[in-house]
Amino acid sequence: MQRRLETLGLLARLQDEALSEQAQALTELQQQAAALTAEQGELARRRHEAGTVTMPEAMAYRGTFLAALRRENDRINTQLAQLDSEVDRQRDSVLESYQALRANEQLQEIIRAQARTEAARSEQGASDEAGTQGYLRAARRR
């Protein structure tokens, strides 16, 4: 049983490292999505500012500027959609790794409980044997 526990312990450490790496990758993806969302907010602010410009000299450039903002916003939306699917896949991967780690920990606990039960039975058997031997010695003396 000890070899099983050592093997499961090693497996648990490996699973924990994998889980940490996957969680880090998920965090990075979420940070990228947050940065894109912030960039999208900045574009919305700039679009609003461009809409309030009333100078006749700027009107000729306003349409081109707004079209460029729209293209940039579309690019960000595309990237966000891709990131969202990557985040979902990575989240599923983290969840699977976590479940595997928990299953390993539960298996270790089951094996430890079996070892404790077996040790208690062995101890009880030794105690019963000692009591029987003591009784037999006492009975022989009489």
93 pLDDT tier (thresholds 50, 70, 90): very high
Give percent of the chain with pLDDT exceeding 70: 99
pLDDT-based confidence at 34, cuts 50/70/90? very high
How far does the chain reach from its first CA to its final CA, in angstroms? 45
- Dist CA 112 CA 106 (whole Å): 10
Report the alpha-carbon distance of residue 26 to residue 44 in Å, rounded: 27
Tokens 């006492």 correspond to 138
Q: How confident is the model at residue 117 (pLDDT cuts 50, 70, 90)?
A: very high
CATH number of 2-141: 1.10.287
**pLDDT (average), residues 26-43:** 95
Count the Cβ atoms, other than its own, within 10 Å of residue 132.
Answer: 10
- What pLDDT is recorded for position 2? 84
Instruction: Dig out the tokens for 141 from the structure.
Output: 């003396």
Residues 35, 46: Cα–Cα separation, whole Å: 17
Domain positions in the chain are 2-141
Reply yes or no on whether the pLDDT at 136 is more than 80: no
Q: What is the DSSP string of 29-41?
A: HHHHHHHHHHHHH
Q: What's the mean pLDDT when you consider all of the chain?
A: 89
Q: What does the pLDDT look like over 42-74, one tens digit per residue?
A: 999 988 887 777 777 777 787 788 889 999 999
Does 17 score more than 90 pLDDT?
yes
Separation in Å, CA 5 to CA 1, 97, 120 = 6, 19, 19
Task: Read off the tokens for 86.
Answer: 């990557």
What contacts 33, CB < 8 A, 6 or more positions away? 80, 83, 84, 87
